[in-house]
């Protein structure tokens, strides 16, 4: 359950605005959990009440935020532990099936008749002629013996 003081609604996605000199959060909130991307449906952060806990670690394995508490969310504003305020904006979700595909102008599509290349026809004729000549010569030798 999402704490009402956060300003978030169930079933809606929220992205965190990036601000210069503040930690960058590339994912989105959905139902009190924080995901890095729609195809990666493993939560890397979550809300406990209004506290935003975020599982990001430095190269030594220590959490980036002390105690993994990135900050608190109130009225769609994330206040980080260092005092920076980042706005949360609703992001409308569009399923891949809902995205309109670009329409192609059928008249603009050129059709080509399937015709063999003249070079290919000449090469095939030479090859066939050579094979027939070879068979003729081989057949002539066996008759002479």
Q: Give the model confidence (pLDDT) of 78-90 as tens digits.
A: 999 888 899 999 9
- Is residue 51 over pLDDT 90? yes
pLDDT digits (tens, 9 = 90+) for 14-46: 999 988 888 888 889 999 999 987 666 788 999
b/e map of 30-69 (b: 16 or more CB within 10 Å)?
Answer: bbbbbbbeeeeeebebbbeebebbbeeeeeeeeeebeebe
- Is residue 97 over pLDDT 60? no
- Is residue 145 over pLDDT 60? no
Average pLDDT over residues 74-80: 93
Give pLDDT, residue 48.
93
Domain ranges of the chain: 4-94, 114-144
Instruction: Give the integer Cα–Cα distance in Å for 71 and 54.
Output: 9
The radius of gyration computed from the CA coordinates of the chain, to the nearest angstrom, equals: 34
Query: Whole-model pTM above 0.85?
Result: no
Q: Which residues contact 92 (CB under 8 A, 6 or more apart)?
A: 13
């Amino acid at each position: 359950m999402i704490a009402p003081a956060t300003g978030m609604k169930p079933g809606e996605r929220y992205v965190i605005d990036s601000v210069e000199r503040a930690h960058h959060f590339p994912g989105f909130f959905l139902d009190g959990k924080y995901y890095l991307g729609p195809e990666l449906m493993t939560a890397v952060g979550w809300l406990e009440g209004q506290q935003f806990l975020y599982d990001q670690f430095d190269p030594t394995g220590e959490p980036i935020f002390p105690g993994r508490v990135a900050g608190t969310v109130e009225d769609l504003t994330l206040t980080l532990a260092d005092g920076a305020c980042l706005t949360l904006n609703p992001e409308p979700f569009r399923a891949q099936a809902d995205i309109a595909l670009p329409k192609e102008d059928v008249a603009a599509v050129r059709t080509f008749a399937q015709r063999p290349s003249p070079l290919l026809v000449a090469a095939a004729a030479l090859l066939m002629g050579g094979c027939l000549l070879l068979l003729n010569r081989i057949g002539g030798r066996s008759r002479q013996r």
